Structure 1
Amino acid sequence: MSITDRLAELGVTLPDAPAPAANYVPFVVVGNLVYVSGQISMDASGLICGKLGENMDVETGAAAARCCAINLLAQVKAACGGDIERLERVVKLTGFVNSTADFSEQPKVINGASDFMVEALGDAGRHSRSAVSAAALPLGVAVEIEGIFQIR
């Protein structure tokens, strides 16, 4: 089954790739790898802000991470000239969670992105990963995730 078909089954339409907010590019292609800059938690309604362990629970944080994953795939699609079917596999995700000093469930939050990648891509969505805490993230968002992807 194609990636487009899997996304449709999940009820997901990839948005236009978000534009960078400062002096950097949204992705860099080196050989068959795409390095995608950090995608902050946002959906069609806007930014998803909050601090885990203070005013946001793990389930809501995981949903924010899922939105980051969708935006990562939108960037990969843009890097592939609009052809998401060129995506071969997710290599690595690095997730940053805006959380209090005593919050320790960052992996559960970033699971929102990891689980989505596997749902959308099957085994090609399985990846290496880091999930770390941050005292603050840009614009007060709850989650930011960057990724490395292999393409054809």
Structure 2
Amino acid sequence: MSIEARIAELGLALLQASEPKGNYIPFKRTGNLLYISGQLPLGPDGKVPERWTGKIGSKVTEAEGNAAARACLLTILSQARLALGSLDRLHACVRLGGFVNAEPDYTTPGAVVNGASDAIVDIMGEAGRHSRTTIGVATLPLEACVEVEAVFEISERPEHM
């Protein structure tokens, strides 16, 4: 089954790939690796929805943060499709990096980033299993509660056709 078909089967939809807000590019391919810059949980209007702004542990619940991380993953996949032309060129998710806008006493940022990790495994199966780093941070752009970056191994031709 193709990755896009699996996304639809799960009742998910890719989110709009956003333009960079600084001096960087949204993705970079080198060899058979595709690096996706950190993505925020943006809504259809290109803004972070109010429910996903602020710190985990005070304004935003862990469950809301988990949903925001899932949204970040869907934006990551939008960037990958833009970079490759087809998500079916994704061979494996190598790594996710998660940054959680957290209160100083919030000690489980991994529970938030599990939203992205669970989503990529749901979508890609075993090929979605990845290494990961998750850290709590003092602030994120646009007051987002979470940001996620990714590295994928890619192939020259579609994998899942």
| TM-score bin (small chain) | over 0.9
Give the aligned partner of residue 10 of structure 1. 10
Amino acid across the alignment from 1:113: A
Give the aligned partner of residue 143 of structure 2. 140
Alignment of 1:107 with 2:122, yes or no, is no
Aligned Cα RMSD in Å?
1.1
**Number of residues of Structure 1 aligned to a counterpart in Structure 2:** 151
Give yes or no for contact 1:66–1:113 (8 Å, CA) kept in 2: yes
Give yes or no for contact 1:41–1:49 (8 Å, CA) kept in 2: no
Give the aligned partner of residue 91 of structure 2. 88
Give the aligned partner of residue 44 of structure 2. 44
Gaps of 5+ in 2: 156-161
Structure with a larger share of its residues in strand: 1
What SS does the aligned partner of 1:43 have?
coil
Give the aligned partner of residue 60 of structure 1. 64
Give yes or no for contact 1:95–1:132 (8 Å, CA) kept in 2: yes
What SS does the aligned partner of 1:52 have?
coil
Give the aligned partner of residue 77 of structure 2. 73
What SS does the aligned partner of 1:119 have?
helix
Using the alignment, how far apart are the partners of 2:145 and 2:72 within structure 1?
10
Amino acid across the alignment from 1:89: A
Percent identity among equivalent residues? 44
Equivalent positions of 1:20-31 (< 5 A) are: 20-31=20-31
Gaps of 5+ in 1: none
How far has the Cα of 1:2 moved from its partner? 1.2
